[in-house]
Chain A
Amino acid sequence: MAFRAQHLLGIEHLAPDEITTLLDLADRYANENRDRVSHKDVLAGLTQINMFFENSTRTQASFELAGKRLGADVMNMSMGTSSVKKGETLIDTALTLNAMHPDLLVVRHPNSGAVDLLAQKVNCAVLNAGDGRHEHPTQALLDALTIRRAKGRLHRLSVAICGDILHSRVARSNIMLLGKMENRVRLVAPPTLMPAGVADLGVEVFDDMEEGLKDVDVVMMLRLQKERMDGGFVPSEREYFHRYGLDAAKLSHAKDDAIVMHPGPMNRGVEIDGTIADDINRSVIQEQVEMGVAVRMAAMDLLARNLRAAKAENRKVMV
């Protein structure tokens, strides 16, 4: 049992044993969720605030459900429509919220590093639900759990991450997590969507998809955001699909038992062929959603334990 972090800001700050601890607990929650086991006592009496400065239906719902399953009082704040528009700074928003004494703060923000900044200013546990292009740790953890359950292990696998890596926080968190757990990571993208210097991170870089998928165990597709079309990163959706969309022909270069993943929401016919996404023998996309709730339950459970321990410690000091 080793999970020491006070916040879950990114995979970068987690040690491999912390990742394993979290995944073990999430695995248990996943099974018990299927058996409808109730855990209403775990976060009973704690307040969880979901603060989304960027629209998200799926992640927010997943965090909300995770909190409710554990018995927390969950509040959603859609920051796009609130005081932020009236010119309040992020720090002031944080201080205002802090005064309400939440225990768990789930934050998504369009700027890289914004969640780190916020975490410095509040005294509750902060979970990063995605900051700019930086990190999306719970997504990487749920991907890891999905892989572990499908493949029976989370080491010495060959994983290809394909698509818009440049703008993807999911890719960054996954590169770090898979690297920490000693897997081979391959990145496949057109050069316009590949960040600079990634080869130094210990990954292999490909701009040819068939070559990149050769003999991999896991194919992880990323969403191509429509607004990237305007930025001139790729010539057109149809050319992108032709060269980088996952279809049966390209998938045939991976191992026969390779699994297909996607963080959602999918653009069918842009980065992934609909029949592949729906192929129950290959696609684990639905499992990813299911594991998302379990991973977020585990993360909040572990952070709440550390939070309670810290509070007990403070009380001892006070006495």
Chain B
Amino acid sequence: MTETLFTNARLIDPVALTDSVGWLLVRDGRIADSGTGAAPTTKGETVDCAGACLAPGIVDIGVQIGEPGERHKESFRSAGRAAAAGGVTTMVTRPDTATPIDTPETLEFVARRAQSETPVHVLPMAALTKGRDGREMSEIGFLMDAGAVAFTDGMQVIENTKVYGRALSYARSLGALVIGHVQEPGLSKGAVATKGKFASLRGLPDVSPMAERMGLDRDISMLEMTGAKYHADQITTARALPALERAKRNGLDITAGVSIHHLTLNEFDVADYRTFFKFTPPLRSEDDRIAVIEAVKSGLIDIICSMHTPQDEESKRLPFEEAASGAVGLETLLPAGLRLVHGDHLTLPELFRALSLNPARRLELDCGRLQVGAPADLVLFDPDAPFLLDRSTLLSRSKNTPFDGARMQGKVVGTWVNGVRVHGE
């Protein structure tokens, strides 16, 4: 029997939405007890949190790792270290790797690599269609048996609605979660910026934010038709929100996420064609950013993720239109998320509801909360500690972060997975 007692902690409870000073006892990898009064005694280790915040570890849906095929961009080992340093205790990995993860065999390879290389939990997602080319559904049943927690073709939209409908119905029969990318493909094709003054000034191919609403509307219709369990990967525009709200009210099994980058940056951050600010979907207007933050606060948008997308220097040192899209985010997800707290948009429990609790609930995991019996996946952090981000210090193999040189607040002091410390001393 091993015990760890955390004392003098600000306990961030995303279930009760409370933020109170207290103690938390971990026994044999699970949360055994907690309280706000005098701490009990323990024969095990005592961690004096000295007023720092103790929260359930982050469950990050949509992490891309370069295995198989592009280990030079990110290996399980480097991603695992980055995750531990960023307070991410569960990485839900994407199947849109160089070789798509669309067969049980590939999935087993990935799971084995993850198991041996990373200190944090790794839950793989698998492709919804073979080769992610939108023609034939993958072996959803076998893939689930092999451990796939969700099915998605990543940012590749399945254009053929017959194929998509069949995949959704089949997935429903197995209770599989499908994650969709809600951008109408015709309008979005070739676009690297959001339609508006900025894109016009810079002369970049642009897409109306309406493409997102159309993509979401289509998927909502598909859900009404099939009854599938569904998550929209990134909702980034104000115009998509009423549709999402209606779908939830109508009782569809739908949740939605947003990347931290769309919550903390806007289209003007691209400035003079800075390719580290190129995302799919592209960064939005400030009005959209604010609307989406409010939707996170109200709970309409359930989940914040990093959309961790490692890219090497060669993929980014290109003219904007040709450069690869995406950014690494495992290590910056929490400090960037804390910008929303310091900016008085969200409270700490609200932030962790979106970072930890809701993604865990969506994937039917028992982590993501500070409740007795839950796994002791924990992050201890000082929410105020200021620092200047230097991308060369990131543990990810790829250093493509839009926050290079940015002033940030919030440092991870320690990370625990199943009660075992995986980061910090």
- Chain A residues lying within 8 Å of B361, measured Cβ to Cβ, are none
A235 within 8 A of B: no
Q: Please tell me if the beta carbons of A113 and B195 are within 8 angstroms of each other in the complex.
A: no
**Residues from chain B with Cβ under 8 Å of A169 in the complex:** 203
Tell yes or no: B245 within 8 A of A by CB: no
Q: Is A76 an interface residue (CB 8 A)?
A: no
In the assembled complex, which residues on chain B have CB atoms less than 8 Å from the CB atom of A196? 195-197, 199-200, 206, 208
A111-B195 contact given A132-B203, A134-B203, CB 8 Å threshold: no
Residue of B nearest to A91 (CB): B317
Decide if B195 touches A132 in the complex (CB within 8 Å).
no
B318 in contact with A90 (CB, 8 Å): yes
B214 within 8 A of A: no
Q: In the complex, which residues of chain A have a beta carbon less than 8 angstroms from the beta carbon of B204?
A: 112-113, 132-133
B38 on interface, CB distance cutoff 8 Å: no
Residues in chain A near residue B268, CB distance under 8 A = none
Is B320 an interface residue when CB atoms closer than 8 A count as contact? Answer: yes
Within the assembled complex, what's the spacing in Å between the Cα atoms of A54 and B199?
22
A132 vs B321: C-alpha distance in the bound complex, in angstroms?
Answer: 10
Total contacting residues, chain B, CB less than 8 A: 21
Given A133-B203, A134-B203, A172-B203, also A113-B197 (CB < 8 A): no
Set of chain A residues within 8 Å of B195, measured between Cβ atoms: 196-197
- Could you tell me the distance in whole angstroms from the C-beta of B45 to the nearest C-beta in chain A? 51
- Could you tell me the distance between the alpha carbons of A133 and B199 in the complex, rounded to whole angstroms? 10
> Quick check: B197 and A197 within 8 Å, CB to CB?
yes
Is B314 located at the chain interface by the 8 A CB criterion? yes
Beta-carbon contact of B319 and A117 below 8 Å: yes
| B contact residues around A117 at 8 Å (CB) | 273, 317-319
Chain B residues with Cβ below 8 Å from A195 are 199-200
CB distance from A88 to the nearest CB of B (A): 12
Chain A's interface: helix, strand, loop or mixed, by majority? mixed
Question: Counting chain A CB atoms within 10 Å of each CB, which of B197, B203, B204, B322 scores highest?
Answer: B203
List B contacts of A310 (CB < 8 A).
Answer: none
Knowing A133-B204, A196-B196, say if A89 contacts B314 (CB, 8 Å).
Answer: yes
- The yes or no answer to A200 lying at the interface (CB within 8 A) is yes
A109 within 8 A of B: yes
Query: What are the residues of chain B within 8 A of A113 when measuring CB–CB?
Result: 202-204, 272-273, 319-321
* B201 contacts the other chain (CB 8 A): yes
Known: A89-B318, A90-B319, A112-B273. A198 touches B203 (CB 8 A): no
Nearest-Cβ distance from residue B29 to partner chain A, whole angstroms: 49
Complex formed: what's the CA distance from A141 to B197 in Å?
A: 23
Instruction: Please state if A201 and B322 are interface contacts (CB–CB under 8 Å).
Output: no
Q: A117-B273, A132-B203, A135-B203 are in contact. Are A111 and B320 (CB under 8 A)?
A: yes
Interfacial chain B residues near A135, Cβ < 8 Å: 203
Given contacts A91-B317, A197-B195, A111 and B322 within 8 Å (CB-CB)? yes
Residues of chain A within 8 A of B196, CB atoms compared = 196-197
Rounded to whole Å, the gap between the CB of A174 and the closest CB of chain B is 13
- A112-B273, A113-B272, A117-B273 given as contacts; is B319 within 8 A of A198 (CB)? no
A157 at the interface (CB under 8 A from B): no
- Can you show 26 pairs from A to B with CB atoms below 8 A apart? A89-B314, A91-B318, A111-B321, A112-B319, A112-B321, A113-B203, A113-B204, A113-B273, A113-B321, A116-B272, A117-B317, A117-B318, A117-B319, A132-B204, A134-B202, A134-B203, A135-B203, A169-B203, A195-B199, A196-B199, A196-B200, A196-B206, A197-B195, A198-B200, A201-B197, A201-B201
What residues of chain A have their CB less than 8 Å away from a CB belonging to chain B? 12, 89-91, 109, 111-114, 116-117, 131-135, 169, 172, 195-198, 200-201
Given A111-B320, A116-B272, A117-B319, 10 more pairs with CB closer than 8 A? A111-B321, A112-B320, A113-B204, A113-B272, A113-B321, A114-B319, A116-B273, A169-B203, A196-B199, A201-B201
The 6 A-B pairs at the shortest CB distance, nearest first, are namely: A133-B203, A113-B273, A197-B197, A111-B319, A134-B203, A195-B200
